[in-house]
Every structure is written in C-alpha cells, then in structure tokens.
C-alpha cells in the first residue's frame, strides 16, 4: 500500500506539523532553559522563587531548574567524554542547553523548521541510547526491574522513571522525523531560514 499520497494529503493541512512543532517547541524550550541557569537566577533575584505558584511548579517534578554546573555533572555520568576532554565537556555544558532552547523557540515560531528538527533529531538519537545504557547500569547495580529505575538524566525535568523517559524520547523522535519530512508551510513564520 502506498502511504505517500495519504501522508501528503494529511500533511498539506499543516496541522500535523503544527502539533509536532508545538509539542517539541514547548518541551525543548522548557527543558533547555531549565538547564541554562537563567530561570533560577531570575527567580532568585526577583524573590519569586518563594511564591506559592513557583513552589508548586517546582514541586510538581515537571521541571527542575538547574544550571551549567549540574548539567556538567549529569553529562559526566554518561562518560561520553573522558575526564581528560574537559574543555569539550565544559563547552558542551554551556552550549547544549541554549541549542535546545533555540531549537524549541524556532519550532514554536515556525522558523528554520527542518534545520531545528534535524538538530533535535540528532540530539535525541545520540542521547536516548545513552539514557538506556545508564539506566541498565543502574538496574544492574540496584537489582531493580527496568521500569523501577529512576534517575536524573540531565533532561531538565529532574529525576525521571527510565521507561517513561524512553517512551517520551521515542515519541519526540517520531515528531522530529515528522517535522523534518513535512513540506507544509502553514502556520510558520519563515519555514526556510536560508534562501532556496
């Protein structure tokens, strides 16, 4: 069965892309910003961190506000870089959250949609196996069932359940592929950043 015409008809409405952009955009803007340290600083400087609404959000485990130091430590647990590659680790800890944030904002605005989707897809494809491997390590060390493993994966949401995180990442990989493949231009400010 040839699915291409069906996909094209479905895609032409612009709604699937809009949905993918909104989900990915919100997720990566929030998760990226949470790791930059900027929201923590703003909440601290303004005194808003003591407001009940902010406390409720932070206690809900939807988002964990950290900063470059925490992200550096979380990255180190994956042992992607050896400790001797510390300049690269430092640079990644500083840059990656902002790359995530920019991708999220671009998708929300509908700017450079395919470029942002490709960047997210690359990060998700690199990061998801690392999360799985780290989860398997913790499972072996703790003698737990796979779905009982919980740890802070450095995703910006604090401690998460491994199975839930893997399912979430799989969904985001599919949405990134959709955003990359879609040729719809509706609801986008500037779908192509560079001239064709």
Partner 1 sequence: MNEIRRVFLEALLICAAGTAVGLAVNAVSPMGLTLGRDYFLASRGTGPRAAAGTLPAGTAPAASGTRPAGDPDHHAESEAETAAVMRLRALGLQDIPHAEVEESFRSPLRESMAILFVDARDARHFEEGHIPGAIHVDYYQIDRHIDQVLPYCHAAERIIIYCNGGNCDDSELLAQSLVTVYGVDPAHVFVYPGGMNEWRRRGMPVERGTAGTRLQEPRP
Q: Is 150 in the site for partner 1 (CB under 8 A)?
A: no
Q: Is 189 in the site for partner 1 (CB under 8 A)?
A: no
Closest separation in Å from C-beta 76 to partner 1: 7
Choices 10-18, 51-59, 100-108, 168-176 (CB under 8 A): range interacting with partner 1:
100-108
Q: Is 97 in the site for partner 1 (CB under 8 A)?
A: yes
Q: Is 95 in the site for partner 1 (CB under 8 A)?
A: yes
Out of 20, 25, 36, 162, the only residue in the binding site for partner 1 (CB under 8 A) is: 36
Q: Is 141 in the site for partner 1 (CB under 8 A)?
A: yes
Please state the separation of Cα 151 from the chain's center in Å.
16
Q: Is 116 in the site for partner 1 (CB under 8 A)?
A: yes
Handedness of CA 174, 175, 176, 178 (dihedral sign): positive
Residues whose CB falls within 8 Å of the CB of residue 58, separated by 6 or more in sequence, listed in order? 49, 64, 65
Closest separation in Å from C-beta 181 to partner 1: 11
HSE-CB of 161 using CA atoms within 13 angstroms: 9
Cα angle 121-123-126, degrees, rounded to a multiple of 5: 105
Handedness of CA 91, 164, 59, 141 (dihedral sign): negative
**Residue 104: Cβ within 10 Å count:** 23
Q: Is 182 in the site for partner 1 (CB under 8 A)?
A: no
Closest separation in Å from C-beta 37 to partner 1: 4
Contact by Cβ (8 Å): 97, 149: no
The site for partner 1 (CB under 8 A) is made up of 36-38, 40-41, 67-70, 72, 76, 83-84, 86-87, 90-91, 93-103, 106, 112, 114-116, 118-119, 122, 141, 180, 192-196
């Amino acid at each position: 069965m040839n699915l291409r015409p069906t996909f094209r008809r479905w895609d032409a409405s612009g709604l699937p892309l809009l949905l993918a952009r909104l989900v990915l955009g919100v997720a990566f803007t929030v998760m990226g910003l949470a790791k930059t340290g900027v929201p923590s600083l703003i909440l601290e400087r303004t005194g808003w961190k003591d407001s009940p609404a902010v406390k409720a959000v932070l206690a809900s485990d939807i988002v964990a506000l950290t900063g470059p130091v925490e992200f550096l430590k979380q990255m180190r647990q994956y042992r992607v870089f050896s400790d001797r590659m510390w300049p690269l680790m430092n640079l990644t800890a500083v840059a990656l959250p902002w790359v995530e944030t920019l991708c999220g904002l671009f998708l929300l605005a509908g700017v450079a949609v395919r470029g942002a989707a490709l960047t997210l897809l690359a990060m998700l494809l690199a990061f998801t196996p690392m999360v799985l491997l780290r989860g398997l390590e913790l499972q072996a060390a703790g003698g737990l069932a796979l779905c009982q493993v919980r740890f802070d994966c450095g995703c910006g949401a604090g401690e998460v359940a491994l199975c839930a995180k893997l399912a979430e990442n799989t969904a985001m990989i599919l949405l990134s592929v959709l955003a990359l493949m879609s040729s719809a231009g509706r609801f986008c400010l500037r779908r192509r950043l560079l001239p064709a």
